[in-house]
Amino acid sequence: MSIAISGAARAARHPKARGGLVRFATEQPLGAVALFLITLFVVVAVLAPWIAPYDPLAQDRVNLLTPPGVGGHPAGTDELGRDVLSRSLYGARTSLLIAVSTLALGGVIGLIVGVVSGYFGGTWIDSVLQRIMDALMAIPSIVLLLFVAALLGPSVRNTVIALSLLVIPSINRVARGEMLRIREEPYVEAARSVGCSTPRILLRYGLPNLMAPLFVMGSLLFAVILIAESALSFLGIGTPPPTPSWGRMLSEGRSQLEIAPWMTVVPGLILSVSVLAFNLLGDAMRDFLDPKQRR
């Protein structure tokens, strides 16, 4: 991950990259909107304790299940009188924490597997690694998550471990495909001919050249993780109470659907908009990076 961060930091400092951001925004207006929404999501998640109107765990006994706007609760309260808006904002915090850790953990493992596999493409190392990835991909995500979460027990750490099993095969696939292409490039051949070691070739020439498609995949995976984390919490095996999480808010709202629809609508809407933003950003980056799509 440190490699990825320093790479991104270098790109950000580079004057051409800054111009790239402006060009990205003009060429992909939807991507710019998505980027704005994601920034908002991150800001809300980080600043939740300062911008939330109430403590997410405080129970307002006078206002149980009040509709939005009543009793000073902008998005209403749940059956314990907890402020739905504050809980939703704190839920962003939980989701961001889990999604970032998952992407870091699964991304690094997936990247290593993919790069090694791609560099040794066609050999037994590649076959063994890829068959394991195929097996991981063959189990539907929620089932795999249920399986791992059931074995490890519900906690934020275990949710991250379970979710990273979803990330590894996808990152692996992208990294391997790119590495298969990169290893045929003249600069890799040149590096090999001057006697660079394999790890050096992978780190110095492989990694930097496959970052672009990985960012696309990372954005799309972020959306997948947000949904999967909520699904786990919805089923009651993800983030344990009392930590506010969107998935558990939805499952709490399920029993009050007809009495207090805001309990379901508000966190679900925020979740969906966040997922939408990451999907849009992924699409926009793909179109932006793919020369075929440019006209």
Partner 1 sequence: MLLYAGRRLTYGLLVLALVATLVFLIIRLIPGDVVRLQLADAPGVTQAQIDQRTTELGLDEPVLIQFGHFVGGLVQGDLGTSFDDGRPVTTKILERLPATLELGLLAILFGVLFGVPFGLISAIRHHSLIDNVMRFLAVIGMSLPNFWLALLLITFLALWFGWSPPLVYASPTENLSQNLIHMLLPAIALGAATMASIARMLRSSLLEVLGSNFIRTIRSRGASERVVVLKHAGRSSMIPVFTVLGLQVGSILGGTVILERIFAIPGMGSLIFEAVGQRDYPVILGCVIFYGAIFIFVNVVVDLLYAVIDPRIRYEGASA
Residues that bind partner 1 (CB under 8 A): 131-132, 134-144, 146-152, 223, 227, 230-231, 234-235, 237, 250, 253-254, 257-258, 261, 264-265, 268, 271-272, 275-276, 279-280, 283
CB of 227 to partner 1, least distance (A): 5
Comparing CB distances to partner 1, the nearer of 175 and 263 is 263
Taking a C-beta distance cutoff of 8 angstroms, is the pair 25, 264 a contact?
A: no
Taking a C-beta distance cutoff of 8 angstroms, is the pair 1, 9 a contact?
A: no
Comparing CB distances to partner 1, the nearer of 33 and 191 is 33
CB of 216 to partner 1, least distance (A): 15
Comparing CB distances to partner 1, the nearer of 11 and 132 is 132
CB of 280 to partner 1, least distance (A): 6
Alpha carbon dihedral 207, 28, 19, 214, in 10-degree steps, equals -10
Helix spans in the chain (H): 2-13, 15-27, 29-51, 84-119, 124-138, 141-152, 156-182, 186-193, 198-200, 211-234, 246-254, 262-289
Please give the Cα distance from 295 to 281 (Å, whole number): 19
Comparing CB distances to partner 1, the nearer of 144 and 171 is 144
Please give the Cα distance from 215 to 111 (Å, whole number): 12
CB of 246 to partner 1, least distance (A): 9
CB of 195 to partner 1, least distance (A): 34
Taking a C-beta distance cutoff of 8 angstroms, is the pair 248, 238 a contact?
A: yes
- Going by C-beta distance under 8 Å and a sequence separation of 6 or more, which residues neighbour residue 169? 110, 133, 136, 137
CB of 249 to partner 1, least distance (A): 11
Please give the Cα distance from 228 to 209 (Å, whole number): 30
The closest of 278, 277, 246, 280 to 92, measured between CA atoms, is 246
Comparing CB distances to partner 1, the nearer of 49 and 261 is 261
Comparing CB distances to partner 1, the nearer of 97 and 132 is 132
Comparing CB distances to partner 1, the nearer of 143 and 194 is 143
Taking a C-beta distance cutoff of 8 angstroms, is the pair 33, 276 a contact?
A: no
CB of 118 to partner 1, least distance (A): 19
